[in-house]
Amino acid sequence: MVELSREECLNLLAAHHFGRLAVTMSNGAPVIRPVNYVFDRASQSVVFRTARGSKMHALLHAAKAAFEIDGIDEASRTGWSVIIEGVTATVMGSRDVSRLNRLGLESWAPRSKPHWAQIRAWTVSGRRIALPESVKPEHSVG
């Protein structure tokens, strides 16, 4: 297991566009939802679009959230993950919204998502599972 530096984690966040948002609902139940996102280096935030609804409601009332991305290679049994924890907020300023609109986020869901939300990356951690060349997983043939 190799710990990733903050910069490596931020680079991975910037290079990918799908992750999982984790918040705690007002009743204490954890909720994890997949989201398309972009990493906004200017604000050190994961940003995504959303519509009014349970995800937005939970996000606004949680004030804090976690966000996770990962990549795996099952054949080699290697992979990596990045987790951020931070304060959540909706983005409402017209300058900020204009700037975020230019980042090219493409939502996979067909529903209109007029609101921007962000999670500021206060705590960033990442790990990579890297096997030495001398250790290769056995593969069955057949």
Total-model pTM: 0.82
In contact, 83 and 32? CB cutoff 8 Å: no
Has residue 1 got a pLDDT over 70? yes
Specify the pLDDT at position 135. Answer: 55
Kindly report, residue by residue over 93-116, the tens digit of the pLDDT.
888 888 888 888 877 776 667 788
With b meaning 16 or more CB within 10 Å and e meaning fewer, what string describes 83-94? Answer: bbbbebbebeee
Kindly report, residue by residue over 50-82, the tens digit of the pLDDT.
877 756 667 767 778 999 999 999 988 899 999
In contact, 35 and 10? CB cutoff 8 Å: no
CATH topology of domain 2-129: Pnp Oxidase; Chain A (2.30.110)
Higher pLDDT, 60 or 15: 15
Specify the pLDDT at position 19. Answer: 96
Angstrom distance (rounded) from CA 13 to CA 79: 15
127, HSE (Cβ side, Cα atoms, 13 Å):
5
